[in-house]
Amino acid sequence: MIRFFWSPNLLYCLLLMMGTPLHADVYKMIGRNGQVIFTDKPEGSGYHLVIKSNRPAPSAAAPAAVPVSRPRGPSGDIILGNGPRPVAVPDIRAARPQRGGRQLQYARLVERAAEAHGLDPWLLHAVIQAESSYNPQAVSHKGAKGLMQLMPGTAERYGVRDPYDPEDNVFGGARYLRDLMGMFGSDVRLAVAAYNAGEGNVMKYGNQVPPFSETQGYVSKVLGFYRRSN
């Protein structure tokens, strides 16, 4: 079984190996803590098929597979991500958004921003859906603007000149989210909570989701979109 977990470095490996023939279906599941798990042999419910294999029909002339030494965990699973050099994985371009409307309109922009900042594009989609429902002209009662609802101070900090410009906004929001992921050890729940309530509040409450009803509801909403993203 091949199982790997999302990390900022994993996107690089996925992109590096684009075009590699895939000989097994790939399934994805979002864990309760926001951890992204990919596997070729799903165990239990909650997994969704994201990439269909291109396994050729059996042939007597097919060359024998060449064994490759790969790092393995205690359970025998192959480990990808933060361990030694990851093994080849399938082309993630096949797993683009399947929904219509504005999500498809901004799909390529989100992919570019995610690639540039080492993020899962599905996480960016989930944040945008929760923040603005893909409305680039959205303005909150607190003054947050654009697709990723950047506050004026955050926009200034990340060099966003026009928060209503989709590219400027999404790239700025992606930079902010990347920094939050790094700050909280790639914990998606805490990064999302900090995106809503501020990193100071997350640290104030001992690196836990702050006990604010708005923030707790926001985290549940984003992770819900994230789990259903495929």
Q: Just list the catalytic residues.
A: 131
Please spell the DSSP secondary structure of 30-68, one letter per residue: E-TTS-EEEESS--SSS-EEEE---PPPP-TTSPPPPP-
- Can you tell me whether residue 198 is helix, strand or coil? coil
Question: CA 204 to CA 201: how far, in whole Å?
Answer: 5
Helix (H) or strand (E) holding 115: helix 107-117
CA–CA dist 15, 88 (Å, integer)? 10
Question: Computed from CA positions of residues 34, 80, 228, 150, in that sequence, does the dihedral angle turn out positive or negative?
Answer: positive
Locate 166 and state its tokens.
């989709």
